[in-house]
Structure 1
Amino acid sequence: MRKQIAAVLLTLGLAQGAAAAAPDGIDIPFTRFTLPNGLTVIVSEDHKAPVVAVSVWYRVGSADEPKGKTGFAHLFEHLMFQGSENHKDEFFRPFELAGATDQNGTTWFDRTNYYETVPTTALDMTLWMESDRMGHLLGAIGQKELDEQRGVVQNEKRQGENQPYGRVDQRISANAYPANHPYHHDTIGSMKDLNAASLGDVKQWFGTYYGAANVTVALVGDITPEVARQKMTQYFGDIPAGPPVARQQPWTAERSQSTRDTMQDHVAQTRIYRQWNVPALGDPEETQLELAAAVLGGGKTSRLYERLVYKDKLADSVSVSVQPFALASQLQLQVDVKNGVDPAKVEAAVADEWKKFLAGGPTADELERVKIGTRAGFIRALEKVNGKATILAEGQLYRDDPAAYKTDLARIEAATPAQVLAAAKKWIAKGDYTLTVTPAPKDADFSGEDEMEKPGRAELAGRPESKLPAKQELRTVKSEVDRSKGVPQVTSFPDLTFPKLQRGKLKNGIEVVLAERHAIPVVQMQMLFDAGYASDQGRKLGTSAFTMAMLDEGTKELDSLEIARRAERLGAEIGSGSGLDTSSASLNALSSQLEPSLKLYADIVRNAAFRDADLARIRGQWLARIAQEKTQPTGLALRTLPPLLYGEGHAYAIPFTGSGTEASIQSLTQDDLRAYVRDFVRPDNARILVAGDTTLEAITAKLDAVFGDWKAPESALPKKNVADVAAPAKPRVFLMDRPGALQSLILAGVVAPSTKAKNNLEIQTMNGAFGGSFTSRLNMNLREDKHWAYGAFSFLQNALGQRPYLMYAPVQTDKTGESVAEILREAKDVIGPKPLTHEEIDKIKVGDVRSMPGEYQTTGAVLGALSGIVLYDRPDDYVQTLKPRIEAQTDAAVQAAAVEVVKPDALTWVIVGDLKKIEQPIRDLKLGEVKVIDAEGKTLR
């Protein structure tokens, strides 16, 4: 076995003695230059697709907020999307028209970043937009814009804290770091401080931190350094450098003593968090601690998972990980305690394993498996241009080295068990903060609490002084850009390059569909079975998802842990599961390890053992999952709405989480699982989809070697009932009580035509304009105009039968009734007095066409397209011919799709919130009959 591991390590470039500078040949070539105003630019060429990732990183985050201004960095990020002096409109709008993908902005402790991937021809527009808000923002921001985004951010805060365990992060930050540490408070901020934010704060923040010298821009994709230099100078060269920004210095602020804390929340089970302050990003010992964390709790083969979940059966899950930051990092343990188990027993078992690790450190085998997984994960991350841009920008921003990832990979490669043990002994042998979260009484109300206002760890002496950067002579350069002309128009767009599908068959008749692609040395495949949640019909609910989840929990010759260990040694990712109409088993393998990966994969698909011990373990985790779903507003709604939409007896009248019910999962037996496999997981019900670094001849031969002799049973394939159902004659309203909820979750649904419908494209376009995009009617109303929600959308779930069309909005509690009324008004308007306009429809059409080069960058995205082609009987050239079919849609056809799908008088509403606050306003709307139901969908009154 040691020889096998060594061979794999050698293949991956992980063996001792490999070149430290670029192990495994991993390299992101780049050019770096600095504009005269101090703005740093990193350029990396990647011409596999006609797109460019633009990633703009400002060296400012919530760690820079002074006392009384918490949450301001994130609030300012939102304001950056409000428009600028020369584009007084939503920032997203030109990008939707240009076909941008991967677009967003984020804020954390140490940075604020804005990013998008655009067609190469849209680069001028993108740089104009990013430079306009960097250099020309304040004239576009007034009290109205500030109030609007304040409301949006406050609803983002409510939405996060309304989730189970949603108040934990701030409690940990406040107790991990002293009150005078930059990380003492959470990025989202306090309601009090958000309310106090003023226009003066906006101007001061912009002037202090948003100068050009405080920025790194990474450009990765279909671009050259010469073009990048010219365009960056053209658009950004005249922006002032801004004042020098003092850099805060690393401060771990570790504890010498252990501290403990408890809190209650609306959760289904007790969760234990344990946290240590450890060295900052870039510190050699931080890398060693990441390896220690992976060995202790990085997956099912880790020490704590094996001990707590497999052996002692005390927990449903356990994980250990490191979150690295610029000033200090956090190593954190998280354990979900099995219901009925004393948390003290869990802590004792954790302490025992921790003690053993600190005595002997990791084994060579443990460390090698973690190294392989790290390297394989990094290779996969390089496929997207935005992924590479993030890696380069982070290295520059935090460590003044875009190639800092090479240092980390080399440290990982060279790490020895002794080094990992030494780092662990130094940093995680003492000084932990333990937080135990327990289920609160059902009527507990936390809506008036704000964790940000609670005291935590006291101030501590010794905070390092911030340091100003070395003095530079910076200057602007004259720009020839006439911003009065507005946003540059994008007049041409690159064509999509998509691999031609190839088809073959195995000896036993299984069809193979291949999309050949050699961008990275990885092969992805999916064995697709006609099954899914819908195949639960006539069986115990949850059978499909549960059975598929059990496939890799043991074969005739291998137990669950040995399967996981072998996958780790191969750098392979193997999974199985179910969706609404299909079940699948998937493999993501390194090309160099494809044959042994396929052998393991085939064993999992063909030889599931369903041992009693594994069945009991997964059953316990599954029941915990169902209980967790019932504490999540969205989970509650998605469990109860589909049965109401489809009615008893329909294959889709099930919780759309696929998890089933407690009663059905409790009663599942080995015979149930074996019967399901016999009926559905069989070669005459399978198709194999492949995308990546192989050829049809090669992959067919390799698949034949492991699947060619697989024979179908004599029994017939079962049928599924996905018959059409009629819309209800009138609206129905179902309320679910969640006492003390910070928001109400509104979900309104109706059945729509199948994904296979002839007018599927028109339905998709209609949805995009009505509620499926940022600038859609629903989101612009409830988020941007009213700021009652962080987001409000509509969406379609793909289905072979009638699919659900859902409108979704988590809204602040005191605006629940008004929000329902607005959603209903928008639904009535779109099929009545205010049909979708040509501009609204065209925006979605052109965005869909122009985004395709960015959408299909990855092998996974190509595999997803293959799945749609096979499942919905689309032609092999579906993707290549999609552009003219999208463009051919008429306004009238899209408007007709709205009338066909959006049926405001047939909506079924499920609203989850604090009944004592929302029930009467809902009843006053007189939408229709109102019923109060429980988490199982049973009527209470």
Structure 2
Amino acid sequence: MMNKTVLSILLTASVVSVAEAQTKLVEKVTRQGDELVIPYTKYKLPNGLTLIVHEDNSDPVVHVDVTYHVGSGREEVGKSGFAHFFEHMMFQGSDNVADEEHFKIVSESGGTLNGTTNRDRTNYFETVPSNQLETALWLEADRMGFLLDAVTQPKFEVQRETVKNERGQNYDNRPYGLVYEMTSKNLYPYGHPYSWTTIGYIEDLNRVNVNDLKNFFLRWYGPNNATLTVGGDVKPEEVVKLVEKYFGSIPAGPAVQDMKPQPAKLDKDRYVSYEDNIRFPMLRMTFPSPESGHKDEPALDVLAEVLGQGKNSIFYKNFVKEQKAMQASVFNSTSELAGEFGITVMAYPNTPLAQTEELARKSIAEFETRGINEEDLQRFKAQAESSLINRMASVSGKVSQLAYYETFRNNPNYLQEEIKRIQSVTKEDVQRVYNQYIKGKPAVILSVVPKGKAELLAKADNYTVDQSGYTAGADEYSGLKYTKAVDTFDRTKRPGAGENPVVAVPNYYTGKFRNGLKMIGTNTNEIPTVTLQLSIKGGHRLAANNPAKAGIASLTADMLNEDTQNYTSEQFSNELDKLGSSIRVGSGQDDTYVIVQSLKKNLDKTLALLEERLFRPKFNPDDFERLKKQQLEGIANQATQPTAIASSVYNKLLYGNNHIMSIPTSGTSETVENITLDDVKQFYNSYYSPSVTELVVVGDISEKELMGKLDFLKKWKKKNVQLPAETKAPAIEKTRIYLVDKPDAAQSEIRIGYMAMPFDATGEYYKLGLMNYNLGGAFNSRINLNLREDKGYTYGARSYFSGSKYAGPFTASAGVRADATAESVTEFMKELSDFQKNGIKEDELQFMKSSIGQADARQYETPYQKANFLGRILRFDLNKDFVKKQTDILNSITKQEIDALAARHLPVANMHIVVVGDKKTVLPKLEALNYEIVELDTDGNPIASSSVK
């Protein structure tokens, strides 16, 4: 569910209430002055559909959200996963929209779309250029009112496989993927709506049939159980007319009552456990807490922050700082019916979880002596204010907030009440909820330990689920009938689009300081925030100067997030949190980055902290030893992750053993062991220089005002930094399969590709992006439709080019069912070969041009989008008119050009095929393919080679 949004200041809004009548207007909320409120108009249709419209003309985009008040909590025992299953089925076509057309139409319109399911609601949403509003409403109405005849048995079977793949990828085969499922079934009584997860159980998915699924839809997906929220560049009166046209005739479904809260109740600690393919033992303690909206929720949120969020928390101090655990956190998570106060500790390898539990209980008890202070409340409220304001950066964020409050509070303007709830929290409230819900109270205590290491359990299991007290609820599904709307217009005709909106590329200013630092910025006043991004060129590639110490860029960046000369890391974090600001230092392949987020009113204090962080690191030896240990443990952990193994082995093959990019950015155990604190200091002193730094600024500040605040960057001393030259990657003699054994893996990771070319915004690289769009770049691409939608082999498959200033690879990838590994390789190569040989089809060419051509409306909406756009201009020295040049290329490119690009840049006879999977399952079928197979270990070293087939 959505994170709660709160403010530390009292806001008001002008609310006009109108008695419900034929006008269908319920209320109108407007903004007065500079107050932070989301204006909207709320309507009710005769069939029960709630419509909320938010007008925001700052960007030519529209976000449409349909939220149905049904999630996995409406399911029943033996039929879990229905709400999520239907999320998939809602994209499989309806009476007037063909199979896969929903994705295609929205993509072709320059939009993006998705759906999500949780315990309490399911939502479907599109963000499209404003001229495509009617199309989006037509699509959503068609699947609300005209879906079931299009739900066929073959579609049902394919999506059942897709959901199984999703479960395998995100739950069964993911480390710690079953933590939530194990917690839920042991925390709540058997049959409780929250005792299973939204994905459901495989046995339930296998058991159900298509008619079960249709009945679920008929019961819960009526307009009277839905909220339609439309936001963006629209006129409310026009939206109302369109919604009445497309949704007004859809009959109401059966009445739906809100469910009453059902918080969990425990009479003693419940110890449960399972073994997993992991490196770090995990302890998860879960205490029952009240539902979302309960009066005690804000105080429990404060308690969770003090116990286990951030560097000032008790759990961070006792576990992470003292090197007793890799991670330790506490969160109060709430849903419509119940809440869960969860403590999670990921211990170091071979740590007995009994020790972890003992320290966790001591840390909880430490709260009694520490207590709550005014700074705790100040931090919490400042961060809440910042969170709310940043959520308003996009139309989708504002629409989601309105839809959530309407669905669960029956009041889109509930933000005002939320603010009051937060403001009223006192130190006494936090102490009270600690005593009421946590102190001495029983919990579900889950141990997750590596396979074969049951001796690490906190305690032996003492609880099994008791089914004896369960009584099935009333039958919700008998006598349901499917009644379609009767219209006075032809619903089969797709609406025409209005005139394409004029998309304004952000105006920007540029500059260069005497020390070589380059900057670019734009002034935008939609929200009162400022975002800064510093990019220091080099990053991991600088380790090419000393490959024996690869990983040093990452470790140096991590050190800059710790103590400074004037602040401990805890003090620094405290000062940031009180401002609602963030400063984060990280490192990637090509650069070290510093990302700064601040409310406009707190920018000066935030920049003073940035100066401290960037120029006065302390390089504390204790911090270094702790971070080095964590980095080494993280590297060791990668050996348990098939996705990480696949990417690492693939890069080693692409770049060759002597290339720095054949080593992960985190380094290897050997290289990181070599790194000393003096090495980190030298790396910082040698490579952190304004001469290789680019600054991007986006926010509510003018160039003139900004420049007066950047003296500390102008005084930054220049150093002579030589960036490493490009090293040519080895040629690929012929296409081979490289197999890495991952015993008993239920899924296989596949990577296929070769070294392509560097980024070029208006040259051949840009054209290759156009070429790949239909092959593997869009949801409706050939690769994804084949492997996911037609075959059910995977949850998602794709291909892409990823060049930077340096040459980057072309890659096709997917995680697939183990038993379909060889078949997936076959289908990948079939699609690549066909595109290389025969090129693009005319309808695909037009789809690509329409989709990419109209997508510009979504490119510059949020501060981060603007910052990334401007950063690209600076990084690649692009001309101001490069977007126009791209548009000209897009409009003029021909089928012949695309076909020539495919023929030249899809060398199917000279690619690496990497497969990470269970050898005993996948090898026999792979041997039947016409490729030489080379077996590698997890480090990419050869084990054996078969003969050519």
Give the TM interval when normalised to the shorter protein: over 0.9
1:14 to 8, 14, 17: 8
Counterpart CA distance in 2 for 1:186 and 1:733 is 37
1:260 aligns with 2:271: yes
The aligned residue for residue 836 of structure 1 is: 840
- Which blocks of at least 5 consecutive residues in structure 2 are unaligned? 1-5, 15-30, 455-461, 477-482, 945-949
1:345 aligns with 2:355: yes
Pair 1:428–1:855, CA change in 2 (3 A): farther
The aligned residue for residue 888 of structure 2 is: 884
* Contact in 1 for aligned 2:7/2:422 (Cα 8 Å): no
Say which is worse superposed, 293-302 or 872-881, in terms of deviation.
Answer: 872-881
TM-aligned CA deviation for residue 30 of structure 1: 1.4
* Contact in 2 for aligned 1:724/1:801 (Cα 8 Å): no
After superposition, give the CA deviation of every residue in 1:394-451 in whole Å (9 maximum; x if it has no partner). Answer: 11111211122332222112211111221222112212111111111599xxxxxxxx
The aligned residue for residue 781 of structure 2 is: 776
* Contact in 2 for aligned 1:506/1:703 (Cα 8 Å): no
TM-aligned CA deviation for residue 884 of structure 1: 2.9
Pair 1:409–1:933, CA change in 2 (3 A): farther
2:717 to 676, 701, 711: 711
1:671 aligns with 2:682: no
Say which is worse superposed, 26-35 or 122-131, in terms of deviation.
Answer: 26-35
Counterpart CA distance in 2 for 1:464 and 1:484 is 42
The aligned residue for residue 794 of structure 1 is: 799
**Which letter maps to 2:504?**
T
The aligned residue for residue 685 of structure 1 is: 692
1:938 to 933, 941, 948: 941
Counterpart CA distance in 2 for 1:347 and 1:880 is 60
TM-aligned CA deviation for residue 183 of structure 1: 0.8
**Which letter maps to 2:749?**
L
> The residue matched to 1:484 in structure 2 has which SS?
coil
> The residue matched to 2:231 in structure 1 has which SS?
strand
* Contact in 2 for aligned 1:266/1:442 (Cα 8 Å): no
The aligned residue for residue 910 of structure 1 is: 914
TM-aligned CA deviation for residue 865 of structure 1: 0.8
The aligned residue for residue 568 of structure 1 is: 577
The aligned residue for residue 634 of structure 1 is: 643
**Which letter maps to 1:848?**
I
1:587 aligns with 2:596: yes
* Contact in 2 for aligned 1:118/1:854 (Cα 8 Å): yes
* Contact in 1 for aligned 2:759/2:766 (Cα 8 Å): no
> The residue matched to 1:850 in structure 2 has which SS?
helix
**Which letter maps to 1:729?**
E
Pair 1:622–1:481, CA change in 2 (3 A): farther
Counterpart CA distance in 1 for 2:886 and 2:850 is 12
The aligned residue for residue 543 of structure 1 is: 552
The aligned residue for residue 518 of structure 1 is: 525
TM-aligned CA deviation for residue 353 of structure 1: 1.8
Counterpart CA distance in 2 for 1:695 and 1:798 is 33
Pair 1:877–1:617, CA change in 2 (3 A): farther
1:162 aligns with 2:173: yes
After superposition, give the CA deviation of every residue in 1:519-547 in whole Å (9 maximum; x if it has no partner). Answer: 11111111111202211213211111221
TM-aligned CA deviation for residue 881 of structure 1: 5.2
Structure 1 vs Structure 2: percent identity of aligned residues? 32
Pair 1:463–1:248, CA change in 2 (3 A): farther
1:720 aligns with 2:730: no
Alignment of 1:408-807 (within 5 A): 408-429=418-439, 430-441=441-452, 457-459=465-467, 479-485=487-493, 487-490=494-497, 492-506=499-513, 508-539=515-546, 540-655=549-664, 658-704=665-711, 706-713=712-719, 716-756=720-760, 758-807=763-812
The aligned residue for residue 471 of structure 1 is: none
> The residue matched to 2:795 in structure 1 has which SS?
coil
Pair 1:216–1:555, CA change in 2 (3 A): same
The aligned residue for residue 243 of structure 1 is: 254
> The residue matched to 1:808 in structure 2 has which SS?
strand
**Which letter maps to 1:732?**
R
After superposition, give the CA deviation of every residue in 1:48-88 in whole Å (9 maximum; x if it has no partner). Answer: 11111100011111111122211111111111100001112
* Contact in 1 for aligned 2:539/2:590 (Cα 8 Å): yes
Pair 1:478–1:203, CA change in 2 (3 A): closer
TM-aligned CA deviation for residue 827 of structure 1: 1.1
After superposition, give the CA deviation of every residue in 1:678-722 in whole Å (9 maximum; x if it has no partner). Answer: 222112221211111111111112112x22222124xx3233132
TM-aligned CA deviation for residue 640 of structure 1: 1.9
After superposition, give the CA deviation of every residue in 1:883-913 in whole Å (9 maximum; x if it has no partner). Answer: 3332232222222222333221111122111
How many aligned residue pairs are there? 903
Alignment of 1:317-332 (within 5 A): 317-332=327-342
- Which blocks of at least 5 consecutive residues in structure 1 are unaligned? 1-11, 444-453, 469-474
Counterpart CA distance in 1 for 2:731 and 2:925 is 26
TM-aligned CA deviation for residue 476 of structure 1: 11
After superposition, give the CA deviation of every residue in 1:227-247 in whole Å (9 maximum; x if it has no partner). Answer: 221111111000000111243
After superposition, give the CA deviation of every residue in 1:455-490 in whole Å (9 maximum; x if it has no partner). Answer: 95335969999999xxxxxx99974431132x2132
- TM-score, normalization: structure 2? 0.91
Pair 1:273–1:13, CA change in 2 (3 A): closer
* Contact in 2 for aligned 1:765/1:841 (Cα 8 Å): no
**Which letter maps to 1:587?**
V
- TM-score, normalization: structure 1? 0.92
TM-aligned CA deviation for residue 863 of structure 1: 0.5
Pair 1:654–1:398, CA change in 2 (3 A): same
Counterpart CA distance in 2 for 1:581 and 1:859 is 22
Pair 1:183–1:693, CA change in 2 (3 A): same
After superposition, give the CA deviation of every residue in 1:472-525 in whole Å (9 maximum; x if it has no partner). Answer: xxx99974431132x213253212122212012335342221122111111111
* Contact in 2 for aligned 1:511/1:688 (Cα 8 Å): yes
* Contact in 2 for aligned 1:744/1:816 (Cα 8 Å): yes
Pair 1:14–1:464, CA change in 2 (3 A): farther
* Contact in 1 for aligned 2:110/2:852 (Cα 8 Å): yes
Pair 1:558–1:129, CA change in 2 (3 A): same
**Which letter maps to 1:297?**
G
**Which letter maps to 1:612?**
P
**Which letter maps to 1:792?**
A
> The residue matched to 2:157 in structure 1 has which SS?
helix
Say which is worse superposed, 212-221 or 342-351, in terms of deviation.
Answer: 342-351
The aligned residue for residue 218 of structure 2 is: 207
The aligned residue for residue 3 of structure 1 is: none
> The residue matched to 1:841 in structure 2 has which SS?
helix
Say which is worse superposed, 771-780 or 694-703, in terms of deviation.
Answer: 694-703
Pair 1:801–1:254, CA change in 2 (3 A): same
* Contact in 1 for aligned 2:135/2:495 (Cα 8 Å): yes
Counterpart CA distance in 2 for 1:203 and 1:286 is 37
Counterpart CA distance in 2 for 1:358 and 1:387 is 38
TM-aligned CA deviation for residue 761 of structure 1: 1.8
* Contact in 2 for aligned 1:39/1:214 (Cα 8 Å): yes
Counterpart CA distance in 1 for 2:251 and 2:434 is 46
Pair 1:859–1:809, CA change in 2 (3 A): same
After superposition, give the CA deviation of every residue in 1:622-676 in whole Å (9 maximum; x if it has no partner). Answer: 1222233222221111222112101133342222xx1111121222111211221
After superposition, give the CA deviation of every residue in 1:539-589 in whole Å (9 maximum; x if it has no partner). Answer: 211111221222121222222212211111121111112222222212111
Counterpart CA distance in 2 for 1:844 and 1:358 is 61
**Which letter maps to 2:176?**
Y
* Contact in 2 for aligned 1:235/1:481 (Cα 8 Å): no
TM-aligned CA deviation for residue 340 of structure 1: 4.3
> The residue matched to 1:712 in structure 2 has which SS?
coil
